[in-house]
């Protein structure tokens, strides 16, 4: 299948996490925080695990979560960045991660596959050190292995941050089982990119592709759960990025905050709840229309290689016009907000902030 090369060339929107003014970086300098890799060995592991391969346009195509997985290679990835005018990307692994191997005692384990993927991403970043950084993939729900992988990725491989998913085999962010993971990340003020996955409950499945509507609601479920369990408040030093404009959260934030203020849900303060939600960072993947951008401006918080360039390029161009952003705001969207949570990137690239 021809590669559906594209890009979110995902840029951050945030009201509360911007770097100091006076940046010497050109306002058009773009940092993509949502860009995926699909190594051949990962594709083979998915197929071996039973993910379906269907014939589309006469070509065999792998599907995960009801969506086609594009053919990927590093050369084309860099070429797509060049086409889109993206200067730097933090690469990660999209859904389903390695959770499909969790608990299996034969063949390739989730832990082994996570490490193999992290080493592959490390090699990609070494091939293009000024163009690529990486977000560590974790072998959740194995907590001890996850803690070890975080330390390995951040201390040895010097990754930009950590990748997580809205749930790992039904264990959602916010679950107390993940407290040791967040304690470690919190102590390091680490940056976490949270990608949606298939919902932990099959009851919502109507047979349609999960990325169509379930992914946006998955992001909201994770943020809601972290609120109600207190995990986000307890580990507030972790910088957290949610994709796709924050999913459904900008539209439902006030409803959730109002409900959470009821006594049986903890009598949480509405203003504090909304402030917590605004403390997240939202990227602009699949969120470039007027209504989406206005929601993000109020709330402020292409995916490569899953979105075609033909779709991503006009979407990227529409951000400033549809959001009515000033040049200064576009500089925040393009790179300033990203650099605020990836200080190591500025140092690595020698950017004067």
Asked whether the beta carbons of 283 and 315 are under 8 A apart, the reply is: no
Distance of alpha carbon 139 from alpha carbon 147, whole angstroms? 9
**Structure token digits, residue 350:** 């020698």
CATH code at 296? 3.20.20.140
Q: Is residue 153 part of a domain?
A: yes
Mean pLDDT of 310-329: 58
SS3 content of the chain, % helix, strand, coil (to 5): 50, 15, 40
Q: Is residue 203 part of a domain?
A: yes
Residue 301 has pLDDT above 50, yes or no: no
Q: Rounded to two decimals, what is the model's pTM?
A: 0.85
Q: Is residue 102 part of a domain?
A: yes
Q: pLDDT tens digit string along 17-41?
A: 344 444 567 777 899 999 999 999 9
**Structure token digits, residue 259:** 């409900």
Q: pLDDT tens digit string along 58-99?
A: 899 999 998 999 899 999 999 999 998 899 999 999 999 998
Mean pLDDT of 165-181: 96
Identity of the highest mean pLDDT range in 217-231, 288-302, 307-321? 217-231
Q: Is residue 2 part of a domain?
A: no
Q: pLDDT tens digit string along 240-269?
A: 999 988 888 988 999 999 999 999 999 999
Q: Would you tell me the crossing angle of helices 270-278 and 210-229 to the nearest 10 degrees? A: 130
- Domains identified in the chain, total number: 1
Full domain range(s) for residue 157 = 12-345
- In percent, the amount of the chain with pLDDT more than 90 equals 57
Q: Is residue 287 part of a domain?
A: yes
Q: Is residue 351 part of a domain?
A: no
Q: Is residue 352 part of a domain?
A: no
Closest CA to 345 of 36, 87, 22: 87
Q: Is residue 4 part of a domain?
A: no
């Amino acid at each position: 299948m021809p590669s559906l090369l594209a890009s979110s060339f995902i840029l951050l929107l945030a009201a509360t996490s911007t770097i100091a003014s006076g940046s010497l970086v050109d306002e058009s300098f773009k940092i993509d925080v949502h860009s995926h890799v699909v190594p051949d060995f990962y594709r083979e592991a998915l197929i071996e695990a039973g993910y379906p391969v269907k014939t589309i346009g006469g070509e065999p195509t792998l599907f995960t979560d009801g969506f086609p997985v594009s053919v990927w290679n590093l050369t084309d990835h860099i070429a797509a960045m060049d086409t889109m005018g993206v200067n730097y990307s933090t690469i990660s692994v999209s859904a389903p991660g390695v959770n499909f191997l969790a608990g299996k005692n034969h063949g390739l384990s989730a832990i082994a596959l996570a490490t193999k993927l992290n080493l592959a991403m490390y090699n990609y970043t070494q091939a293009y050190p000024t163009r690529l950084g990486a977000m560590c993939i974790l072998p959740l729900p194995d907590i001890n292995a996850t803690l070890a992988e975080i330390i390995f990725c951040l201390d040895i491989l010097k990754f930009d941050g950590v990748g997580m998913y809205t749930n790992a085999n039904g264990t959602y962010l916010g679950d107390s089982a993940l407290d040791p993971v967040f304690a470690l990340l919190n102590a390091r003020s680490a940056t976490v990119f949270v990608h949606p996955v298939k919902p932990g409950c099959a009851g919502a499945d109507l047979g349609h592709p999960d990325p169509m509507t379930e992914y946006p609601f998955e992001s909201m479920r994770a943020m809601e759960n972290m609120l109600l369990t207190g995990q986000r408040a307890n580990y507030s030093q972790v910088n957290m990025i949610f994709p796709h404009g924050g999913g459904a959260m900008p539209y439902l934030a006030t409803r959730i905050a109002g409900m959470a203020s009821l006594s049986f849900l903890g009598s949480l303060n509405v203003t504090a709840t909304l402030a917590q939600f605004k403390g997240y960072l939202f990227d602009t993947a699949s969120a470039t229309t007027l209504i989406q951008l206005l929601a993000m401006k109020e709330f402020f918080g292409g995916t490569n290689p899953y979105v075609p360039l033909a779709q991503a390029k006009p979407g990227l161009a529409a951000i400033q016009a549809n959001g009515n952003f000033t040049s200064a705001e576009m500089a925040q969207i393009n790179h300033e907000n990203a650099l605020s949570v990836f200080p190591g990137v500025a140092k690595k690239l020698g950017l004067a902030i």
